[in-house]
Amino acid sequence: MRPLVAGLLLALLAVPTADARKPRASLRAHLEANANDGEAFSTKMRSAVTGKNIVIEKVATISERDVVAFYPYPAEDGTYGVLFQLNDHGKLALDTLSVDRRGRFLYIFVNGKPAAELQIDRRVADGKLYVASGLTQADLLLLKKEWRLIGQRKKQR
């Protein structure tokens, strides 16, 4: 009986380590926030692109859950750019923010790093989010583990 209990206890302790998550790709798109929103709703940070102090909304408008596919390409500066294809939820969120927040900025983070700072200047109804450059080969490897390439068939799970 004791060996059975000890075996079950060992198995239960091993489950969390066996399920430890490997690094996964992430995409977060945060809107520019009002500086008066307060710390509960916004975060102050320095822009990686302009170096200015900015305020972004804490909750991402678009996340990795909204991505269905991507297409990488080499950028002129030796890094990579990516075009993300969004699902219906992401497409609606991008369309809505492009209409409601025209003239404001959208800050995109890929794998936890600032990737793009886009000024919203027109309606985006096609569900495609564009990061011009700044991604590394390691970033692309994580993206490939997470999503299919645009033009490929859906992954079989």
Per-residue pLDDT of 11-70, as tens digits, reads 555 555 544 566 789 999 999 998 888 888 999 988 877 888 999 999 999 999 999 999
pLDDT for 149: 94
Average confidence (pLDDT) over 128-153: 92
- Sign of the Cα torsion 58, 66, 98, 79 reads positive
Q: Which DSSP symbol is given to 35?
A: T
N residues, the chain: 157
Is the domain defined by 23-149 classed in CATH 3.30.1360.200?
Answer: yes
Answer whether 130's CB lies under 8 Å from 119's CB.
Answer: no
Over residues 58-109, the pLDDT tens digits come to 999 999 999 999 999 999 999 999 999 999 999 999 999 999 999 999 999 9
| Helical spans, DSSP H, in 49-119 | 88-100
For residue 20, give both structure tokens.
Answer: 């430890």
Residue of 137, 51, 66 whose CA lies nearest to 97: 66
**Integer Cα distance of 62 and 119 in angstroms:** 16
Confidence of residue 152 (pLDDT cuts 50, 70, 90): confident
pLDDT for 19: 46
